[in-house]
Amino acid sequence: MLLVSVADATEYTVRPSRNVGQEPGMSISGEKVQEVDPIPFWLFLLVSVFPQLTAAPIETLIPLKAAGYLGYKRICRENALESPQRRKILRFVKRNPGLHFREILRRVPLTRGTLGHHMKTMESVGLLKTVSGRGRVHYFVAGAPYSAEEENLIIALRNESLRRIITEIYLNQGAYNEEIAEDVGLSGATVYEHLRYLKDLGVVIAERDGRCVRYTLAENYSRILTDMRTRLKPARSAADPAGWISPGGVPSL
């Protein structure tokens, strides 16, 4: 289409018109006459810039005209929530902070592609924020009144094993690895891996006592948990003796 050959002629034949005295557009020999619309201005500009397009069928330019009619709407923070689905997702994340994508997908009636598209859109316009932890991305509503320590704690409490370990250390400061493993019903190796993660996160502090290591909650995290219990005062259960988990197993913050 870009290499249009140029045609020329060696002679021209001029004949008198057969419709002299008749109105333009009238049939001369019984043929069908169809009025042709004038070329649109947008097409005139297009072929003026790219004259090679004059050799292409006009049907190939229909998508360009359709695109001009449909237009393009840029998604920004002001209009992102015009979508009912995005509003529902944002309300869900606000009620359930710290969930990772797969958990949200399990609890929200949307396909993976649709949910991923809406969440990426809201993240790009600043409605959602993400926090990475243990190979997963956890979601919070942007501007939520959580400190970095509270976000880390919310994410940790959403894991059942971590929640049980944190609960045990909170109730028994200075517990050994073996004591924690026995009380929470996990293997020593599993508890050790979880404690190492919580230590790297800054939630627990490890202090060696002879050949053993005692674990205590860091002061700031212990204070956060105490404040959570004071503000919420949820009913305690055998699975949640510390009393900061809602009946559905979700941190109530």
Q: Kindly report the pTM of this predicted structure.
A: 0.61
pLDDT-derived band at 74 (thresholds 50, 70, 90) equals: confident
3-class SS at 174? coil
**pLDDT tens across 191-230, in order?**
999 999 999 989 999 988 888 889 999 999 988 888 877 6
221-246 core/surface letters (b: 16 or more CB in 10 A; e: else): bbebbeebeeeeeeeeeeebebbbbe
Angle between helices 62-70 and 41-49 (to 10 degrees): 120
**pLDDT tens across 48-63, in order?**
777 665 665 655 555 6
